[in-house]
Chain A
Amino acid sequence: MNRRIFIRNVAAGTTGLALGPAPLSLLANNELLTITILHTNDIHSHIEPFTGSDERYNNKGGLARISEIAKVHRKMNPNTLLFDAGDMFQGTPYFNYFKGELILKTMSAAGYDLGTIGNHEFDNGLQGFLDPLPNAKFPLITSNYDFSDTILAGKFERCKIFKQDGIRIGVYALGIELEGLVGKKNYGNTVYNDPLTVAHEMEYLLKNEMDCDLVVCLSHLGLKYRDDKVSDLVLAAETSMTDLIIGGHTHSYVEKPLVEKNKAGNPVIVNQAWWGGLVVGKIDFVFDRSGKGKPVVYTKNLE
């Protein structure tokens, strides 16, 4: 699919957005560039498709299919990135038998570009996370866990910037509070920093100092809670420069990615891809590199 056809598809697409009828001059503009972000979360060591009698699961999901889907998308658009929002570990006997080794090897082979740390990454303790790490050929980042006083010190950057045909995509990552969720002996001296404070710091850094065109948050905080616990929806409302929040932890099945209003009144996309590789989230951003395009604005989704 070439770029022009794609743009037309965007304009004709039913998925909600603020493009409107695109002027012909814009369609002819080769300054336009599409960035595709594919994402998963809570893979939970589902390498193969699920089996069993439940139609919602049987023969679906798993990294072998995800890998193929990512390949097809990369062929269509070389500016495709594949991210994961944590909880790669635990959930099938593959993890019980081969620990973190096999899942990290498989995700590397599937071409993941970036991942972050879920609470289940601590299931075999800090040593059980450190040992299989060399199998991950893609970076893992975390912005709010501080591992300085642990054996994982220096293993994870706080953010990552991708440069795709002149577009700078900055990604930061937030992990969930470990106390009460993970045994103390498993996380040791890991320090958990407040996600909202860190989010403000990171989005400012990526947008204003590192000059990113797109700011993405990989979150393992969970989509939403009944109480006032920090979640992706809280994060969406409280941040002002984050364009996309890719979530995890709550295994939320989201029919269609959500478009929320951020603190500055601009749109922020919040999504989660169920679990076990049963869903891949796909977010396309269209950029006009000439700077002449009309920026997207928040429009209340009326569906």
Chain B
Amino acid sequence: MRHSFSYGLLITSFLFFVSCGHEAVKTAYQTENISVSEQAGALDSSIVNLYKPYKEILDKDMNRVISVSEFVMEKDKPESLLTNFLGDLLLHEGQRVAKEEGMDFVPSISYYNYGGIRTSIPQGDITVEKVFELMPFENEMVFIELSGADTKAFLDYIADHGGDSVGGVRFSIKNERATHIKINGEDFDPQKNYWIVTNDYVAAGGDGLAVLRDRINFINSGKLIRDVIIQNFEEHQKNNEKLTAKLDGRMRYE
């Protein structure tokens, strides 16, 4: 008797529960990551038609030849045609911008992180597109003032990484440290502060360059490095100069 009562209650409450269960129940799921290839999806013609006029404008500009390179420039360590070329270009443009903006300093070292250089420069015609490939990031040119001690730590970092893209500085690499340092042709002075021109990515400590955050001064030029490079290339073309570079032993193993 007691048992049948319990069962009755159980059945009643079960029926009650079911009849009130209007809430949808999630009963299954299936998941998949679809690789967006030609097989997975054709090009939607309405989308292609939408971007077509934009693409025409873009292609026209991207295919514009803005300079001619004397030879192929590729990156390598400790130095290479490409890293020296970009280092010298950045120092030159940094010094020009500092002067134009009426800054009370002149950058004496330039630095571009090796990993941020994304392609090589071919021989012959250089298009705007090539500069976008070389420098796809929206990095800005910045100026950093470092103490002598931090400048040394910064150059040691470069030495420890087997060389990078630099301008304005020469040193030997010995036991992963920078020695016989010359900046702007003069012996390195640990008592002196130095101004570095670089990009905002490393200035924010990117690529493990925490030392660049220990700075005395920081100025952002607000100019995209890619725009600076495009302008520099156009000037070369205007002056009928080819893009060129040389190996000069600015960083070498001792």
Docked Cα-Cα span, A47 to B61, in Å, equals: 18
For A19, give its contact among B28, B54, B204 (CB under 8 Å).
B28
Nearest CB on B from A213, distance (A)? 5
Q: Is the CB of A292 within 8 A of B33?
A: no
Within A43-94, the residues touching B (CB, 8 Å) are 47-49, 59-69, 71-72, 90-91, 93-94
Q: Check if A47 sits within 8 Å of B47, measured CB to CB.
A: yes
Chain A contacts of B25 at CB under 8 A? 287-288, 291-295
Residues of B contacting A290 in the complex (Cβ-Cβ under 8 angstroms): 21
Across the interface, which residues of A come within 8 angstroms of B31, CB to CB? 15, 256-257, 259, 269, 271, 281-284
A64 touching B48 in the complex, CB below 8 Å, given contacts A271-B33, A284-B31: yes
Q: Which residues of A contact B46 (CB under 8 A)?
A: 67, 109
Are B37 and A59 in touch, CB under 8 angstroms?
A: yes
Q: Nearest-CB distance from B118 to chain A (Å)?
A: 12
Chain B: interface residue total (CB-CB under 8 A): 43
Q: A286-B26, A288-B25, A291-B18 are in contact. Are A68 and B42 (CB under 8 A)?
A: yes
**B104 proximal to A (CB < 8 A):** no
Are A102 and B51 closer than 8 Å at their CB atoms? yes
Q: Is B1 close to A, CB under 8 A?
A: no
* Chain A residue at minimum C-beta to C-beta distance from B200: A183
- Tell whether A13 is near chain B: CB-to-CB under 8 Å: yes
The digit string for B218-230, where 1 denotes a CB below 8 A from any CB of A, is: 0010000000000
Question: Complex formed: what's the CA distance from A97 to B48 in Å?
Answer: 18
How many contacts between A and B, using CB within 8 angstroms?
178
CB proximity to B under 8 Å, residues A275-303: 277-296
CB contact under 8 A between A254 and B26, given known A97-B61, A110-B44: no
Q: Which residue in B22, B29, B37 is a CB contact (below 8 Å) of A285?
A: B29
Is B24 a contact partner of A65 (Cβ separation < 8 A)? no
Does chain B have a CB within 8 A of A166?
yes
A→B interface (CB under 8 Å): 7, 9-11, 13, 15, 17-19, 26, 32-33, 47-49, 59-69, 71-72, 90-91, 93-94, 96-98, 102, 105-106, 109-110, 123, 166-167, 180, 183, 213-214, 243, 254-257, 259, 269, 271, 273, 277-296
Given contacts A10-B30, A69-B41, A294-B27, 17 further A-B contacts (CB under 8 A): A10-B28, A15-B30, A15-B32, A19-B28, A65-B40, A69-B36, A91-B136, A93-B62, A97-B57, A97-B58, A102-B51, A110-B47, A213-B23, A254-B33, A279-B36, A282-B32, A286-B29
18 chain-A/chain-B pairs, Cβ below 8 angstroms: A17-B29, A17-B30, A48-B51, A63-B47, A64-B43, A65-B36, A65-B42, A66-B41, A68-B44, A94-B54, A97-B61, A279-B34, A280-B33, A285-B28, A286-B29, A287-B27, A292-B25, A294-B27
Q: Which residues of B contact A (CB under 8 A)?
A: 18, 20-38, 40-44, 46-48, 50-51, 54-55, 57-58, 61-62, 129, 132, 136, 138, 200, 204, 220
**A-B interface, 9 closest residue pairs, ranked by CB to CB distance from nearest:** A291-B21, A293-B27, A257-B31, A67-B44, A69-B41, A19-B28, A68-B41, A65-B41, A286-B28
